[in-house]
Amino acid sequence: MPLARTQVVRALIACCVVFASMMGAATAASVGGVPFSVRSDSLTQGGQQLVWRVVLDHPFSPTAMQRAGRTLCLVLRRASNDSVSGVLCVAPPRDSHHPQLVFQRVTAAGRGPARAIAATVTRSSSSDLTGTFLPSEVGLPYRDVRWQVMTTLKGSACVPPTAAPLGCEALSPATPALAKLHTPRLVGCVPSGPPYVTSGPTDRRVIALTFDDGPWPDTPQFLDILEREHVHATFFQIGEQVGTYGRAVDRRMLADGDIIGDHTWSHPNVSGDGPFAAGQIAATASAIQGMTGFEPCLFRAPGGAVSGALISEARSMGFTTIEWDVDPRDWSRPGTGAIYSTVVNNAHSGAIVIQHDGGGDRSETLAALPQEIATLRSRGYQFVTIPELLRQRLIYK
């Protein structure tokens, strides 16, 4: 049975006391007063992120609030029964100039440990704060959630003297509001950075697996392996095959976290630039978007045949031209062992590996793939998509 409102409030104030003590709040008597009032507040979804905005009626500093025994928290409630699922509170900076957001889960068994979450906290004035974070950071799936903003002032600092033993509190809005969340859908990416890339930055031990010439009847088997191994990859697709083979796999790719790129309509040499090349790229992008709703921003020329004019043409159309620096030439079917050895022996931080999921018999590539993943992972590599490698922004709705 859910706790009565008074019990919930006292439990939440206790949570805030835990946050304050965890962050080293002073125990000296605070300046008298009442909790800060909330002028405006909201909890909305922006792509993958939750965005919490709050404006108080008084300028505030998280450090000064801590010293004064004040708290500013977002109370999260389950939409099904209005019970509290957690409390997210503003805490002073620890290793940067930006405030932290500290979360404490609340269950029927009690309160969990408090922890700082991965969040971006910004302020446009001394009386407001915006926190952006993934729902998973506060234990939420993408489903509706109720919320309130709570401000407190604890101890003898609070007036009137008839305040609750743990302090005064104020909730806004008075009745919990409903934030309607949905599973975000990837709809595009932003082609930032250089217009032509053969490998990524070397500052992280990451590697990008890419596959060309699909979609193909073998493509689902590649996805089976990647899903099982929890690896994300980038697939450069031929437009004329998207309608035939992409219907069953392209949405699956995007749902898995893979990325789809443009590999021309019919795999010709487009290095000469001009209307023919532009038409090949545009027709493929249209086919991918029509099938999935995703607008690609990555282009790979067949055979790696590029020119300065083609790279400029692709960028003007909204694409980064992607090539590679590790090539096992798996299209020539040199044998599973040869494919595996070339990939793992030439791997390095920021590498882009080209292999093929389409265009012919890809059984050797399929057989080599699990071994490649296991070896590279044992050597400390993480697998990323091309946008992740290049730190390009993905667009979600």
Active site residue 267: no
Average pLDDT in the chain: 90
What's the full length of the chain, in residues? 397
pLDDT tens per residue, range 54-88: 999 999 999 999 998 999 999 999 999 999 999 99
Query: Would you say residue 16 has pLDDT above 70?
Result: no
Query: Would you say residue 348 has pLDDT above 80?
Result: yes
**Which of 258, 263, 356, 357 does the annotation list as catalytic?**
356
pLDDT tens per residue, range 206-230: 999 999 999 999 999 999 999 999 9
Phi-psi category of residue 200: left, alpha or beta, with phi > 0 → left and psi -120 to 50 → alpha? beta
- Which residue has better confidence, 22 or 309? 309
Task: Tell me 123's DSSP state.
Answer: -
Phi-psi category of residue 304: left, alpha or beta, with phi > 0 → left and psi -120 to 50 → alpha? left
Q: Taking Cα atoms as reference points, which of 132, 156, 167 lies closest to residue 9?
A: 167
What is the Cα–Cα distance from 29 to 67, expressed in whole angstroms? 9
pLDDT at 14: 54
pLDDT at 18: 46
What is the Cα–Cα distance from 335 to 40, expressed in whole angstroms? 64
pLDDT band at 26 (very low <50, low <70, confident <90, very high): very low
Establish how many alpha carbons lie within 13 A of residue 287's alpha carbon, considering only the half-sphere containing its beta carbon. Answer: 27
pLDDT at 4: 46
**Which of 41, 212, 262, 330 does the annotation list as catalytic?**
212
* Percent of the chain whose predicted confidence (pLDDT) is above 70: 89
pLDDT at 20: 46
Residue 194, both tokens: 């250089």
Mean pLDDT, to the nearest integer, of 303-314?
97
What is the Cα–Cα distance from 325 to 201, expressed in whole angstroms? 13
pLDDT at 116: 96
Q: Could you please report the per-residue DSSP string of 75-107?
A: EEEETTT--EEEEEEEE--SSSSSPEEEEEEEE
pLDDT band at 247 (very low <50, low <70, confident <90, very high): confident
- E strands within 117-158? 120-122, 128-133, 145-153
SS3 313: helix
**Domains (range + CATH), the chain:** 5-179 (no CATH), 186-396 (3.20.20.370)
pLDDT band at 109 (very low <50, low <70, confident <90, very high): confident
Query: Would you say residue 141 has pLDDT above 70?
Result: yes
Question: Which of 12-26, 258-272, 329-343 shows the lowest mean pLDDT across its residues?
Answer: 12-26
Query: Would you say residue 15 has pLDDT above 90?
Result: no
Query: Would you say residue 166 has pLDDT above 70?
Result: no
Is 147 within 8 Å of 53 (Cβ atoms)? no
pLDDT band at 167 (very low <50, low <70, confident <90, very high): low
Query: Would you say residue 25 has pLDDT above 50?
Result: no
pLDDT band at 156 (very low <50, low <70, confident <90, very high): low
Question: Which of 105-119, 129-143, 157-171, 372-386 shows the lowest mean pLDDT across its residues?
Answer: 157-171
pLDDT band at 1 (very low <50, low <70, confident <90, very high): very low
* Percent of the chain whose predicted confidence (pLDDT) is above 90: 82
43, 77, 129, 141, 299 from 107: Cα distances, Å:
22, 11, 27, 16, 48
- E strands within the chain? 38-46, 49-56, 70-78, 84-91, 100-107, 110-116, 120-122, 128-133, 145-153, 168-179, 186-189, 196-197, 206-214, 234-237, 259-262, 298-299, 320-322, 351-356, 382-383, 394-396
pLDDT at 110: 86
Query: Would you say residue 28 has pLDDT above 50?
Result: no
Phi then psi for 272, rounded to 5 degrees? -75, -5
Active site residue 258: no
